[in-house]
Amino acid sequence: MNKRLRQIGIVNDSYELLTVADLIKLKIIEKPLDGNHGEIHPKGEDFVDFGVPFIMASDIKDGRVDYSGCKYISEKQTSELRKGFAKNGDVLVTHKASIGRTAIVDYQQHPYVMLTPQVTYYRILNPKKLNNRYLRHYFDSDIFQKTLQIWAGAGSTRAYLGITGQHKLPVIIPSIETQKKIAAILSAYDDLIENNKRRIALLEKMAEEIYREWFVRFRFPGYQAAEFEKGIPKGWMQGSLGGITNMLMGQSPKSEFYNDSGNGLPFHQGVGSYGDRFPKNETFCSVDGRTAKGGDILFSVRAPVGRLNIANTIMIIGRGLAALSHKKEFNSYLFYLLKVAFSNEDIIGNGSIFNSVGKDELNGFKLLMPPNTLVKEFDQKASEIDKQISLLILSVENLTQTKQVLLPRLISGKLSVEDLDIQFPPSMQEDRAA
């Protein structure tokens, strides 16, 4: 058995341990390249409404490229650039700033995308030796990620691993059949996770649209028979956020009481620990503080003002957050009210931009107050949608944890797939056909 494989715990004799440089020499991959540097880096004024996607490290999330938030450059400008042209099927790795994010280019509207200098692309020349989906999943494995992080000086504000340094990175190569089976298993989890995330986004959008229809456009149930005065339904009153909410402003304990070992209650200072809907409980506080209850809405009171999450357990909140709950327990209504009212972050009240807001400004935030019967009816509909969203989020978490357990065992060969009859997921149609 290969001595180096034994040293790192690889148990399967059919696996090879190579380096990126070995893969280049064997013509299995092209020499990896990153994006554009210096004068040929696109400037802000070079971006256009639609064209060639310009992929930054921040556009790579959860193993995929989020094209919805990326910027575009014109075809003309790409002709002036020397490198950084990643094609569909290329595997991406971030090597600066947010180090270790991975994805596969899959942008069907254009034959190539452009990369920032923070991103390297790996292009496979011999797909009979190396599968791009396997390579992407391997790049997510501990052995690759820890090596990348160490060599890049992770933890430093200037953490970086250039192209030459990447040539030394290790790559574990099983047979191509095994690679495809490993990729099929892990990609099936990716597909389920992505489908659930789409469903979450659709459900949240549906609840938000119902809110807008009822309380912004005034097309609530029975609106045809309602009377209006100056464009406002009769019986609706002017009020303030403080009139309908219980509000608690956060206060930060001394940092010496913070820990990541689970001692005390979860502690959240601001949006840095936000998740898609619920915060990530990674920091804890060993002393008492101002606490939000499970179900309270977490409202960021420092830039970006107005960003929301929902407390999924009792937690201590710091100065960057406030905890809000509806006085009549219509928290789903309150969540979508805030989501719509603060859709433009950092804008509050009269449209002024705030870097931070205090309790008085929040309490005084002006609202149009519908009758409680209508609010209750909406809250019942929205809370049912929110329950479905919570179940889907739990499913995503469970699928993600299971994948994280499987990944190192599959990559190392400790969990053998050679004799398994694997069904390929829809996202691997081409591999299944081959």
Number of residues that make up the chain: 434
- pLDDT score of 62: 87
Q: Give the DSSP H/E element, type plus range, for residue 55.
A: strand 52-55
Strands 245-249 and 321-326: antiparallel
Task: Specify the CATH superfamily of domain 16-173.
Answer: DNA methylase specificity domains (3.90.220.20)
What letter would DSSP give residue 161? Answer: -
Closest CA to 185 of 430, 433, 420: 420
**What are the beta bridge partners of residue 297?**
310, 324
- 71/49 Cα distance (integer angstroms): 8
pLDDT, tens digit, 9 for 90 and up, residues 114-153: 888 889 999 999 999 999 999 999 999 998 999 998 888 8
* Residue that the structure tokens 């069904």 belong to: 423
**What are the beta bridge partners of residue 238?**
368
Closest CA to 120 of 140, 146, 100, 150: 100
What letter would DSSP give residue 414? Answer: S
Q: At what angle do helices 372-412 and 176-215 cross, to 10 degrees?
A: 170
Q: Low-confidence residues of the chain, pLDDT below 70?
A: 1-13, 36-45, 79-83, 154-157, 345-354, 428-434
* Residue that the structure tokens 């000086």 belong to: 153
Task: Specify the CATH superfamily of domain 237-369.
Answer: DNA methylase specificity domains (3.90.220.20)
SS3 label, residue 67: helix
CATH 1.10.287 assigned to 174-218+372-434: yes
- pLDDT score of 54: 87
pLDDT, tens digit, 9 for 90 and up, residues 7-62: 555 556 678 889 999 999 999 999 998 886 544 456 666 778 888 888 888 899 88
Q: Give the DSSP H/E element, type plus range, for residue 336.
A: helix 331-341
- pLDDT score of 1: 41
- 51/107 Cα distance (integer angstroms): 12
Burial of 170 (0-12, 13-18, 19+ CB in 10 A): middle
- pLDDT score of 363: 94
Strands 85-87 and 112-115: antiparallel
Spell out the domain ranges in the chain: 16-173, 174-218+372-434, 237-369
The reply to whether domains 16-173 and 174-218+372-434 share a CATH topology is no
